[in-house]
Structure 1
Amino acid sequence: MDCKSGTSKKPQAQETVRVISSDFGCDILDLKGEEDIMGMYKRKKSIQTTISPRMSVEIPAVGSGDTAEFMNAASQGNRSAIERFLADGGDPDVHDELKRTALHRASLQGHTAVVEMLLGKGADINFKDQLGSRALHWACRGGSLGVVKALKSHGADLNVRDKLYSTPLHVATRTGHTVIVEYLLSCGAKVNCRDREGDTALHDAVRLNRYKIVKMLIVAGADMKIKNHEGLTAVQQVKQWQCDIMETLQRLDKLRESEPRENPSRGE
């Protein structure tokens, strides 16, 4: 998922331990270093969102210029500009066309002090953007442990879901923020929640070759027998993709061998 654009969970070049069996260990080791190839074989449906030109965006009384300055200040961690806006009666929950608030932006960029300030001034910790992401989802995308801790201390739900049914643990797993995953698990985040495709965080971790996160999730009680909506467990999906990759490589090798060589006498 592209952190800054708010798109769906499809991986871009822009995203879940009981005893581990010997077969499972081999699957993971065989995949090490193949993250880019594996990503090509994950089929995720994206949510297509259309913004109507007539959609109204809440603008505070202070005016659109001040609003833009306020939103940029949140992204940049400019506390003085934020203080001025709020002191003049600005709404802490004003949002952009994708319904991302200053709290969302500050959470993504890791500005813990700004997050604390906004929450202290009444910013809604549960405000949903256009894809249903809360500030905690954005913090997990950004990878700031300080922000995640600040949001939790203010009552953020660790198991809250967006429109794709993704939890913060799903998001932290996909984006590879090991420290965030470890913290969420230590705080009791549910490890076996399934997203809209039926994938648990373990499905995502195995698919994306997040080896350390795989171990954390299994230690935390991830159920290796849970099947997604395609009927695959985390291990089975890896085996299927490995077969697909092998077949592709074999076809390419045969195609190369069948091509005539222009100068067979020349050395390779």
Structure 2
Amino acid sequence: MEMEDIEQWSIDVTTCKTGTEKKVQAEDRARMSSDLHCEMLDLSIGENITDLCKREKMIKKTCSPRVSAEIPVIEPMDTAELMKAARQGKLDVIDKYLDDGGNPNVHDELNRTALHRAAVEGHTAVVQTLLEKGADINFEDELGSRAIHWACRGGSLGVVKALRSQGADLNVRDKLYSTPLHVATRTGHTTIVEYLLSCCAKINCRDREGDTALHDAVQLNRNKIVKLLIDAGADTKIKNHEGVTAVQQVKQWQSDIMETLQRLEKLTEVGPENTSRERND
């Protein structure tokens, strides 16, 4: 028998009063894992290990049940493991975690929750399960993005619909004042933009730089989204903080392209040798 087993038997002997006095000599011993002291049996009483084991079995029969040290203790799932399961869509792992009383709103160092991860990866079933088990739909990450922002970034229409059905605000802003429509436009998810517009999401909201979704669509050359926004009534006259409208951005972009083409044409007329010399100068 190991020394720790002998110590545990000693505690059992002291705690469980069987009616028969046991000759036990105790001594205090500091333990590394706690500030408590336990009693150690003095083996000098002349009993060998075999006798001690027999007496321990008899005591266990007469005492109230104790948790066996041989039963494996299931530790709470590590946050990183939970995030990985959410990212990979492992619903069985998520279910086990939640059924064991795990916190659905546990987050990483950037305040990203399992709901954020599942949303951006498009795992609708995981998202629904997390919401049913108490996940906060409005939990903000370090940049103020909520699950709906992440869903629009990921481009899963199923997840966006699931979040909306549970009350997600389609016009909520992050710390950059970006709405879900801004995010879907920048990431080029035309289907999400179309769905948000069909749900009457505000179309002319401006972010921290004063840009509307239309500004973003023009800047990033999202032609299909530009058409969707204009057809839905986007205001083409709104100016950003630089005093530029989305239409003026187009003209500015066209002007820059024209200037670049003219410069290239001029270099071509000069000739390869002169062009090389000009670059070296």
With the length of structure 1 as denominator, give the TM-score of the two structures: 0.71
Residue by residue, what CA displacement relative to the aligned partner does 1:8-28 show, whole Å, maximum 9, x if unpaired?
Answer: xxxxxxxxxxxxxxxxxxxxx
| Secondary structure of 1:250's aligned partner | helix
Q: Please point out which of 117, 140, 144 is paired with 2:152.
A: 140
| Displacement after TM superposition at 1:254 (Å) | 2.5
| Displacement after TM superposition at 1:256 (Å) | 4.2
Residue by residue, what CA displacement relative to the aligned partner does 1:205-225 show, whole Å, maximum 9, x if unpaired?
Answer: 122222221122112211111
In the other structure, the counterpart of 1:217 is 229
Q: Please point out which of 64, 70, 82 is paired with 2:94.
A: 82
1:70 aligns with 2:90: no
Range 166-175 or range 212-221, more displaced:
212-221
Q: How does 1:1-268 map to 2 (within 5 A)?
A: 62-63=75-76, 66-261=78-273
In structure 1, list runs of 5 or more residues that go unmatched.
Answer: 1-60, 263-268
Aligned residues with identical type, % of pairs: 78
| Displacement after TM superposition at 1:204 (Å) | 1.1
| Secondary structure of 1:252's aligned partner | helix
| Displacement after TM superposition at 1:231 (Å) | 0.6
* CA RMSD between the two structures: 1.8
More helix per residue: 2
In structure 2, list runs of 5 or more residues that go unmatched.
Answer: 1-73, 275-281
CA distance in 1, matches of 2:268, 2:110: 48
**Which stretches of structure 1, 4 residues or longer, exceed 6 Å deviation after superposition?**
none
Contact 1:92 1:121 in 2 (8 A): yes
CA distance in 2, matches of 1:201, 1:260: 43
AA matched with 2:253: W
